[in-house]
Amino acid sequence: MRVKVRFFAYFREIFDGREKNVVVPEGSAVGDLLDHVCDTEKRRAEVFKERALKPLIIAMKNGTSIQSLDGLETKLENDDVIAVFPFVGGG
């Protein structure tokens, strides 16, 4: 399966770019994908706290927060766009 990961705010510096195209095995979940892209200690430390997402780090599948789906267990489908970013405020 081919999926896209998009990064926002300072995650663009941490992940060296605004997006990455990734090929993942069938049956993969969002957690597997984030595991895959967090390929350094620094990246992992920004996204994960132990096996969970760090507080105030948000991941979305096609514009829907994964918290309202199945969290990191949310299954991926072909052409999914996964966004990951620190909670940004403003207005």
Partner 1 sequence: MSDISRYGYHGKILEVDLSSGRIEHKPLDPELVRDYLGGRGLATRLFYDRVDPACDPLGPDNILVLATSPLIGTNAPTSCRGHMVFKSPLTGVIGTSNSGGTWANAFKASGFDALILKGSSRVPVLLDIRPGRAELLSASHVWGKNIHETTEVLSEGAEPGSPVKVLCIGPAGENLVRMAAVANDRNRVFGRCGPGAVFGRKKLKAVRVSGKQKIEIKDRELYQSGLDQALYLMKQAPVTKRLLRELGTAGLVELINLISMLPHRNFQNCSHRDEDVERVSGETLAKTLLERAGGCFLCPIGCQRHTAVPSRDGEGEKGEGPEYETTVLMGPLCDIYDLEAITRANYRSNELGLDTMSFGGTMACAMELFERGSLTPEDTGGLDFSFGNAEVLETAVRMTALRQGVGDRLAEGSFRLAASCGRPEYSMTVKKLEIPAYDPRASFTQALGYMTSPSGACHLRGGYAVSLAFFGGTKEIPRFSLLQSPMAIRNMQNLGILQDSLGICRFTGYAFSIDPWARMASGVTGGDFSVTRLEEIANRVAALERMFNVEAGVMAADDELPARFSDVPIIAEGKERRVSRDDQERMRQDYYGIRRWDERGRPSRELIDALNIRRRKS
Q: For binding to partner 1 (CB under 8 A), which residues are involved?
A: 6, 8-10, 12, 56, 58, 60, 62-69, 83, 85-91
* Residues 65, 67, 70, 72, Cα dihedral to 10°: 90
Least distance from partner 1 to the Cβ atom of residue 76, Å: 15
Count Cβ atoms within 10 A of the Cβ of residue 3 and give its class: 0-12 exposed, 13-18 middle, 19 or more buried. buried
Least distance from partner 1 to the Cβ atom of residue 43, Å: 16
Of the two residues 28 and 61, which places its CB atom closer to partner 1 in the complex? 61
